[in-house]
Amino acid sequence: MKHALTVDVEDYFQVSAFAPNINFQDWPNWPLRVERNTQALLELFEQKNVKGTFFVLGWVAERCPELIREVAKAGHEIASHGMTHQLVYSQKPEVFREETIASKKLIEDIIGQQVKGYRAASYSVTPKSLWALETLIDAGFEYDSSIFPVHHDRYGMPGAPLTIHTAQTVDQKQITEFPLTSANFMGRRLPVAGGGYFRIYPYFFTRMMLKRAAVEINQPFIFYLHPWEVDPDQPRIPGASALSRFRHYTNLKRCMPRLSQLLDDFEFTTVQDVIDTQRAQGTLTTFDYTTLEARL
């Protein structure tokens, strides 16, 4: 079984955890490290002969178009991570719409290919922002990977399906949804899809839980990482809370060797590839999100 390997291409100063400490207007003042860090991931993926999906932030694509072309040229799938990394449920729907359309077009112009996939900043498609799915459909996206069916302070949609499915919104509009991976641990759903969880949990635990998740859903899991997570020397953000520092800085040094081990322990491919395989097997169910909205 080939699982989905994904990278959210953004820089260390753009993460939601540091949003209270860094103004969007100040982003250009922070030294960019996303190029070298993404290239380090590209090198590892080439060594391991694996392809993945890179969800690229429009803000980064605008400043580093050559990097995005390099990723595409290496045979990876390019998808969108939005434009400015604002939480969807904190944005006005019309601003979200403008940014979503603009980021898709920007990336498509850079790589000369259609962009089909979308991932929201910090998985912020939640019960408060289900309207975003309709916007994604209208903007021409074919799949989304923004829903985390767990409890978390910043994101999460407990009750949403765990498997890849067709998400149905109002007016029978549809988009494929690849929810972020969680697994049952002592009676509750534990997020195990990557990022901070991958750095904080011991590696043997992640491996065990990812195996468990794939058995539970009888489908490939989806794994994510950020370029800044393999960069122990990144500048530290002054004034960040203890929780944010813990989530962002724990085990940065261990991340690259762990990732290398993960790529040895599991087989990976792009999101589009996994969706195509599941669709061909006829295993995709449909979930009507208007029923979830109605229950809230």
Q: How far is the CB of 283 from Zn ion (least distance, A)?
A: 29
Altogether, the residues listed in the chain come to a count of 296
Kindly tell me which of 8 and 144 has the beta carbon lying closer to Zn ion: 8
In angstroms, give the least distance from the CB of 195 to Zn ion: 9
> Sign of dihedral through CA atoms 13, 111, 75, 274?
positive
User: Based on CB atoms, which residue is closest to Zn ion, 143 or 169?
Assistant: 143
Smallest distance, Zn ion to C-beta of residue 86, A = 11
Question: Which C-beta is closer to Zn ion: that of 123 or that of 221?
Answer: 123
Residue 17 in contact with residue 155, Cβ under 8 Å? no
Shortest Å, Cβ 4 to Zn ion: 16
The answer to whether residues 198 and 206 touch, using CB atoms and an 8 Å cutoff, is yes
Chain residues binding Zn ion by CB under 5 A are 8, 10, 121
Are the CB atoms for 18 and 244 separated by under 8 Å? yes
- Residue 90 CA to residue 93 CA, distance in Å, equals 9
CB closer to Zn ion out of 123 and 163: 123
Chain residue whose CB lies nearest Zn ion: 8
For the bound state, the minimum distance from the C-beta of residue 9 to Zn ion, rounded and expressed in Å, comes to: 9
145 or 176, CB closer to Zn ion? Answer: 145
Least spacing, CB of residue 10 vs Zn ion, in Å = 5
Shortest distance in whole angstroms from residue 106 CB to Zn ion: 17
Q: Which sign does the torsion angle of CA 238, 244, 245, 249 carry?
A: negative
Smallest gap from Cβ 13 to Zn ion, in A, equals: 12
Query: What is the Cα–Cα distance from 281 to 7, expressed in whole angstroms?
Result: 26
User: How wide is the angle at C-alpha 120 spanned by C-alphas 19 and 157, nearest 5°?
Assistant: 100
Number of H helices, E strands in the chain: 11, 12
What one-letter code names the amino acid at 164? I
| Spatial distance between the Cα atoms of 136 and 188, rounded to a whole number of angstroms | 30
Number of Cβ within a 10 Å radius of residue 62:
15
Comparing CB distances to Zn ion, the nearer of 41 and 163 is 41
d(CA 31, CA 12): 10
> Is the CB of 10 or the CB of 273 nearer to Zn ion?
10
276, 277, 278, 282: CA torsion to nearest 10 = 90
The sign of the torsion formed by the CA atoms of 253, 195, 276, 209 equals: positive
Pick between residue 58 and residue 161 the one whose CB is nearest to Zn ion. Answer: 58
